[in-house]
Structure 1
Amino acid sequence: MSNSTSTKGHVIGYARVSSLDQDTARQLEALNQLGLDRLFEDKASGKDIQRPALKEAMAYARTGDTLVVHSLDRLARNLVDLLGIVEALTARGVSVRFLKENLVFNHSESNHFSALMLQMLGAFAQFERSLIRERQREGIALAKAAGAYSGRKHALNDEQVKELVSLDSANHGKNRKALADKFGISRTSLYRYLETT
């Protein structure tokens, strides 16, 4: 009977983009050079760790495996989630490797420097995002003060909303997709208009 601990672990790739119209080609080009045993891809925001492919990759990974990700921000968008994912994997004997930052994390006692680097890089990324949000808020405040910012415009004026409600009532709430198309709005917007009248 062979010793299962002597077998080489799998190299698992994980790639993520934020939306359906983006593609993972640049990430895959780097990942595929490693001779992956398995690849998982998500098209979802990094704000949420409940991503289907990430959950599948974490469930698939076993002791001795290495999860390879193109960069820190592809795995998580904040420090807490990043540390949580890496710690959950390394506690099970799975190494986590980030290509862009050239970092590898595992459960060995000699890995304190990498753990410190992960926390520092994650903290800097979080700080940078907070600066961007602060600049956006300041820009909006200045634009409002200058009278140049009115927020998001409503797609329909009051007269159109009345017509929308009247047509929906006449149709007894049926065929709302056609109604949304007629007014050039999404069904979500249509429901919002109907709920607020």
Structure 2
Amino acid sequence: MGESVAGQRLGYVRVSTLDQNEQRQLEGQTLDQVFTDHASGKDTKRPKLDELIRFARAGDTVLVHSMDRLARNLDDLRSVVQKLTGKGARVEFVKEGLVFTGEDSPMANLMLSVMGAFAEFERSLIKERQREGIALAKTRGVYKGRKRSLSPDQVSELVALAVKGVPKAQLARDYGLSRETVYQYLRRAERSTG
């Protein structure tokens, strides 16, 4: 069953937080299979992207909403696109309206580099504005900072409750955390025991 039939339309979706609507990214696209990662862009561990790269075959088309969903910097973007096109798959970026096949013209490769560089630059500007906003809020005395982290005992308790089936949203409310932070604690606990 793990074999891909040539010509499948595969979607890749990455959502940064559990609150983001993953269906919206490739809405209206007819897809045979969708690979969805719940990870921030800076997280290099994206198991579903790795699975997609292994799964894709010659003749497949990989659809991604936008370049920033696939990679967070230009080197990663080029690397992922080259891995997929090297296997004979097409890569389509819906938002940018760009298609890459591996037999791309110098102009297509330039567009990939330029668009990827602009996306990376935009993210840098957003981070810079965020830092400036935090600095201004601190000077006004309204910045509260990040919520404090849980003690090791609280983490053990949280993990035990999750294993018993307590919903993650309930744990987030009980511990005063976001759901993403609950998932981060659970992933860390899983890695340390695995």
Relative to the length of structure 1, the TM-score reads: 0.66
Counterpart residue type for residue 114 of structure 1: A
Matched residue of 2:27: which SS?
Answer: helix
Query: Could you tell me which residue of structure 2 aligns to residue 80 of structure 1?
Result: 75
What are the ranges of 5 or more consecutive residues in structure 1 without an aligned counterpart?
1-6, 157-163, 189-197
184 and 94 in structure 1: CA distance in 2 versus 1, 3 angstrom threshold: closer
Counterpart residue type for residue 58 of structure 1: I
Query: Could you tell me which residue of structure 1 aligns to residue 62 of structure 2?
Result: 67
CA distance in 2, matches of 1:142, 1:8: 54
1:43 deviation in Å?
A: 2.0
CA distance in 2, matches of 1:122, 1:139: 26
Query: Could you tell me which residue of structure 1 aligns to residue 19 of structure 2?
Result: 21
Counterpart residue type for residue 45 of structure 1: S
Q: Render the CA deviation track for 1:154-189: whole Å, top value 9, x for unaligned.
A: 769xxxxxxx9xxx8xxxx9x8459x99x956796x
Q: Would you say 1:148 and 2:148 are equivalent positions?
A: no
CA distance in 1, matches of 2:39, 2:136: 33
- Aligned pairs, how many? 160
Q: Render the CA deviation track for 1:123-171: whole Å, top value 9, x for unaligned.
A: 1111112122222323333444x35256527769xxxxxxx9xxx8xxx
Q: 1:90 aligns with which of 75, 85, 108?
A: 85
Query: Could you tell me which residue of structure 2 aligns to residue 159 of structure 1?
Result: none
Matched residue of 2:54: which SS?
Answer: helix
Aligned alpha-carbon RMSD (Å): 3.4
Based on CA coordinates, which of the two structures has the bigger radius of gyration?
A: 1
142 and 185 in structure 1: CA distance in 2 versus 1, 3 angstrom threshold: closer
Query: Could you tell me which residue of structure 2 aligns to residue 52 of structure 1?
Result: 47
Percentage identity across aligned positions?
A: 50
Counterpart contact for 1:140–1:149, Cα < 8 Å: no
Counterpart contact for 1:49–1:81, Cα < 8 Å: no
